[in-house]
Amino acid sequence: MASVSPAAAAAAVSGSHHGRLLLPSSPRRLPRPRPRLRFASCHADTLLPSSSSEVRTPLVPAVEPSSESSTDCFVDWLRARGLPPGKVDIRERPVPCLRDGKDRPLRYVAAGVDLQEGDVAFEVPMSLVVTLERVLGDESIAELLTNNKLSELACLALYLMYEKKQGKDSFWYPYIKELDRHRGRGQLAVESPLLWTESELDYLSGSPLKDEVVARDEAIRREYNELDTLWFMAGSLFQQYPFDIPTEAFPFEIFKQAFVAVQSCVVHLQKVSLARRFALVPLGPPLLTYKSNCKAMLTVDGESVRLVVDRPYKAGEPIIIWCGPQTNSRLVLNYGFVDENNPFDRISIEASLNTEDPQYQEKRMVAQRNGKHAIQNFNVYVGKEKQTVAEMLPYLRLGYISDPDEMQSILSSEGDTCPVSPCTERAVLDQLGGYLESRLAGYPTTLNEDEAMVMSCDFLRVVSWSLYKLAECYGIGFGHCQLADGSLEPKQEVATRLVRLEKKMLHACLQATNEFITDLPDHTVSPCPAQYAPEMK
C-alpha cells in the first residue's frame, strides 16, 4: 500500500497540552443557486463494467467466506463483479476484551493456501476501487477540490454517505455494509479516539494525543462546513441523488463517523495520478492487518490493485501489510490500535529560545547556522533516546550564554559548540531532567501500573482466543464465552498501551540525562539562576 496517510487529508496542528521547553536567556452556509459548472456524470456505469456480459466470472473464487458467513453478500458481490482468482479467504476473529457478547467478530483476509514470499495474494480490478477519479469523473475537478479546502477523505466520505442512502440500489451496497460492520474499528476492535466520549478521552490524559484529537475534530468540522462547495462544483454527480445538499442531508456527527470510517481503511497508492492516490480497496483495510515492520504494500499494476506478500504464510494466517512510517499515536488516531514493535514510534520535545533574551537574535542565528530554529522540535525515536538527548544539549546550552563577548566569539566561529563548564552543563541537564519529570507526572498512572494492566490484558486475550476456539468446536456462540472480570475496557486498553510506550521513551530520556549528570565531575552544581530563568510550559 505504499503508505496510508490520512493525516495529509485532515492535518491536525500540535496541541499545547505540554507546551514547549523554553530556554533561559542567560461556518458559513453557501447559497443554493443552480450549479453553473457541469462535469462528467458519475452514474453506476462509471463504477462498474458497462454491461453484465462484460463481468468476468472467475474459474476459481478469489475469496472464500468462513463457515459462519457462507451467505455473505460481500463475498458474493466480489465474485459476481469479476474479482480475479486469488489465494485468500475471509475469516473471523473474536472481538478482544469482549464482555457482553454483543459485538460480532471482526473479519480479516487470511491466506487461503500456503503462500511464499513474492506470491500475488490477490488483485482487485479498478472497477471495484473507489477513488476520486471514479467518484467525480473528472481529474481536474478532483485536483481543484483537494488543493482548495476539501480533503480526499471528505470527498470519499460524502460520496459513500449518499450511496448508503440509496440502500440496496447502490452498486456499492455490499462493500458499504462491510465497512459498517467494522465501524472504523482497528485490530483491537477500537474506533479512533475521534469517536470517543469525553470521559473515554480521559484515558489519554498526559498524552499529546488528547490535544491532537481536539485539533483533528476541529479540522473535520471545517471540512464539513465546506461540503456544500463540493455539491455545487460537482453538480452533475450529485444530481443522481434525490437528497438535500450535504449539510442539510447529514448532521456533523454522521459525517464525522463516515470520515473516520474512511480514514481507517483508505489506501495511499503510489505512482498514480492525484485523483487516484487515495483509494478504498475491497479486500484492503480494514480486512488486512496492519504492521509497522512489514514491507508488503498494495500497489497499482495496470488497471488493478494487487498485493504481493513479503513473507511465507500458512493457510489461515492473517495477511499483513505495511501501514506506513507512522507513530503509535497516529496509529491510534487513524486506526484505533497500537503496534508494540513499531520502529517508527517516537515522542517529541519542543524547545525554544527565549524571545525576551537581549541576545535572542544572535542565538537564533547560531541555531539556524546549525540547522535548528528558534522553536525547535526534537523527535525522540524508540531505542535512540540517549542519542536525542546528546543532540539537544548544544541547542540547550545557547540559553545559558549571557556574556556578549562570548556570544560574538561563537558567531565568528564555525560549528555549534558553545563553551561548556561543568556547572553550566549541570544546569542544562537539570533543566531537561526537570522537564521530563514534570511530563511524566502529567500522566495519572505510573509506568509500572501500566505494565501490570497490559500483562493482564495479554493474558486474558489468550484466554479469550482459547474460549473462542472451544466454542467453535462445540458449535456454540462466542457470546457465551466472556472474559473474566478485571480486564480493561477495549478503549482503555488501547490508551494504556499507548501511554505506556510514551512513558518508556520519557523514562529512557530521563535515564540518559542522569547518566550525563553522573559523568560530570564530583560535586558539580548548577550556577545561580540567570536573569531570564528557564520557563517550563
Nearest to 255 by CA among 275, 283, 225: 225
23 is a domain residue: no
**CA dihedral for 363, 365, 368, 373, sign (positive or negative):** positive
Residues 6+ apart with CB under 8 A from 159: 130, 135
CB 211 within 8 A of CB 205: no
Question: What pLDDT, on a 0 to 100 scale, did the predictor assign at position 68?
Answer: 43
Name the domain count of the chain.
Answer: 2
Asked whether residue 327 falls in the same domain as residue 353, the answer is no
274 is a domain residue: yes
- Domain final residue, candidates 335, 369, 387: 335
Separation of alpha carbons 522 and 481, rounded Å? 61
95 is a domain residue: no
489 is a domain residue: yes
Asked whether residue 330 falls in the same domain as residue 350, the answer is no
Asked whether residue 358 falls in the same domain as residue 306, the answer is no
- Domain final residue, candidates 335, 364, 392: 335
Residues 6+ apart with CB under 8 A from 470: 481
Q: What is the pLDDT of residues 78-124, one digit of tens each?
A: 888 888 888 999 888 766 544 444 566 788 999 999 999 999 999 99
Order the strands of the 21-22 sheet from edge to edge: 375-381, 346-352, 21-22, 535-536
Separation of alpha carbons 107 and 102, rounded Å? 15
CB 342 within 8 A of CB 187: no
Asked whether residue 453 falls in the same domain as residue 488, the answer is yes
CATH number at 287 reads 3.90.1410.10
Asked whether residue 249 falls in the same domain as residue 394, the answer is no
137 pLDDT above the threshold of 80: no
Average pLDDT score, the chain: 78
Separation of alpha carbons 145 and 159, rounded Å? 14
Separation of alpha carbons 179 and 194, rounded Å? 17
Burial 492-515 (b: 16+ CB within 10 A, else e): bbbbbbbbbbbbbbbebbbebbee
- Domain final residue, candidates 288, 312, 335: 335
CB 394 within 8 A of CB 418: yes
487 pLDDT above the threshold of 80: no
Asked whether residue 206 falls in the same domain as residue 304, the answer is yes
Q: What is the pLDDT of residues 323-377, one digit of tens each?
A: 899 999 999 999 999 999 999 999 999 999 888 888 899 889 988 988 899 899 9
Q: Give the other-Cβ count within 10 Å of 373's Cβ.
A: 13
CATH number at 425 reads 3.90.1420.10
Asked whether residue 293 falls in the same domain as residue 364, the answer is no
Asked whether residue 477 falls in the same domain as residue 373, the answer is yes
385 is a domain residue: yes
CA angle 169, 173, 178 (to 5 degrees): 165
DSSP states along 120-140: EEEEEEGGG-EEHHHHHS-HH
Q: SS3 helix, strand, coil % of the chain, rounded to 5?
A: 45, 10, 45
Q: What is the mean pLDDT of residues 462-490?
A: 55
Asked whether residue 386 falls in the same domain as residue 328, the answer is no
537 pLDDT above the threshold of 70: no
Range of the domain at 266: 126-335
Asked whether residue 352 falls in the same domain as residue 314, the answer is no
Letter for the amino acid at 462? V
531 is a domain residue: yes
1 is a domain residue: no
Asked whether residue 450 falls in the same domain as residue 494, the answer is yes
436 is a domain residue: yes
